[in-house]
Amino acid sequence: MINLNIPDLTLKELKKAIESQLRHTYLEKFIQKPVIDEDKLFILSSIIQNTTFSDHKKKNYIITTMLVQIALDTHDLVTENAAKGESDLNRKTRQLTVLAGDYYSGLYYYLLSKLNDIPMIHTLASAIKEINELKMTIYYNEYDSVQDFMDSFKKLESLLIRRVAEHLQGTSVLEVTGNWLLLRKLMREKHSFINKGNSPIFELLTKGPAFNIRNDQIINTIEQTIQEHTSLTKDTVSHLPLHFNSIKLYVNTILNDNFDKNIIVVEEG
């Protein structure tokens, strides 16, 4: 994790607080530990820290929004159908992953109820509905071009943070959020595909119905999109207002210090 602080609360403190909410001894025996997306956490934190709410409220907003994101990500880990001859352990793991997503969802409702914040609950619930509808479009609809598919996926990656940002302050950070989160997602997916042979995005693009790309062209297609969104990110982050300097520093640090290294490691892997 990059050692950059945001005002009042550090990423380390926030991550520790989120992990304490996620801890469940029984679930940890059977399913993988939930992943906290540090890019989303940093941008969300920077947005909420620039509000006039109390520190207690800021912290709860950040934690509850990230719990929603983790619940949505956990549900994505579930396979749609049981494989033929599935073992009892695999079936139990799959079922518990569904329940874990529901459990994490319940946690944010509990925390928000303590804040007595009905508008925020409505914002998050509406965002969840919108995200699930967009997922159905991405997974099952055809697209006229790779660009159209990437535009939808960009919206999906940033939608929760965008809705929270709009609700809290109508922030100008929205455009860079989409470009940056898609860029980071594609880098991780490319690395997974090259090193492990699997990637949900690559699967959608090569086997459809999203858009059929030949297997020998998929790496170059994704790499082109990565380069395009690197340029877009650099441009949009350069125009952020002063109170979002923390985001500018965070993004530029990763781009300058790690981006080229990651490309070399991935391509050699």
Classified as helix, coil or strand, 170 is: coil
**Whether 180 and 221 share a structural domain:** yes
Residues 106-136 have pLDDT tens digits of: 666 676 677 678 888 889 889 988 998 998 8
Identity of residue 75: H
Q: How far is CA 41 from CA 61, 66, 96, 212, 250, in A?
A: 11, 7, 25, 33, 12
Q: What is the pLDDT of residue 91?
A: 53
104 shares its domain with 159: no
Q: Mind listing the pLDDT tens digit for each residue in 61-82? A: 898 899 888 878 764 544 444 4
**pLDDT in the model for residue 60:** 85
What is the arithmetic mean of pLDDT over 89-94?
50
Q: Looking at the predicted structure, is the pLDDT value of residue 155 above 90?
A: yes
Domain that holds residue 43: 10-78+92-116
- Do 235 and 206 share a structural domain? yes
Q: Which residues contact 232 (CB under 8 A, 6 or more apart)?
A: 179
Lowest mean pLDDT among 47-51, 60-64, 196-200, 230-234: 196-200
* SS3 state of residue 184: helix
Based on the fold, state whether residues 107 and 199 are members of the same structural domain. Answer: no
**Residue type present at position 85:** G
Tokens encoding 101: 């997503």
- 178 with 97, same domain? no
- 10 strand-pairing partners: 5
- For tokens 């009892």, the residue is 88
**Residue 247, pLDDT above cutoff 60:** yes
231 in the same domain as 122:
yes
Name the band, by pLDDT with cuts 50, 70 and 90, for residue 177.
Answer: very high
pLDDT for residue 264: 44
Same domain, 181 and 204: yes
* Axis crossing angle, helix 38-49 with helix 11-22, rounded to the nearest 10: 110
Q: Is residue 72 part of a domain?
A: yes
Clarify whether residues 175 and 132 are in a common domain.
yes
Q: What is the CA radius of gyration of the chain?
A: 19
Residue 212 — pLDDT band, cuts 50, 70, 90?
A: confident
In-domain check, residue 263: no
What pLDDT score was predicted for residue 186?
A: 94
| Same domain? 233 vs 161 | yes
Residue 109, domain member (yes or no): yes
Based on the fold, state whether residues 69 and 122 are members of the same structural domain. no
174 with 190, same domain?
yes
Q: Which tokens hold the place of 92?
A: 């139990």
Query: Scanning the structure block, which residue is given the tokens 């719990």?
Result: 67
37, part of any domain: yes
In a domain, 191, yes or no: yes
Residue 235 to residues 179, 244, 261, Cα–Cα distance (Å): 10, 15, 21
Greater confidence, 3 or 223?
223
Residue 128 inside a domain? The answer is yes
How confident is the model over 7-63, as pLDDT tens digits? 456 888 898 888 887 765 445 555 556 778 999 999 999 999 888 888 888 888 898
Whether 119 contacts 75, CB under 8 Å = no
Query: Quick check: is 257 in a domain?
Result: no
Question: What pLDDT band is residue 210 in, cutting at 50, 70 and 90?
Answer: confident
Domain count, the chain: 2
In this structure, the answer to whether residues 122 and 229 fall within a common structural domain is yes
- Overall size of the chain counted in residues: 269
255 part of a folded domain: no
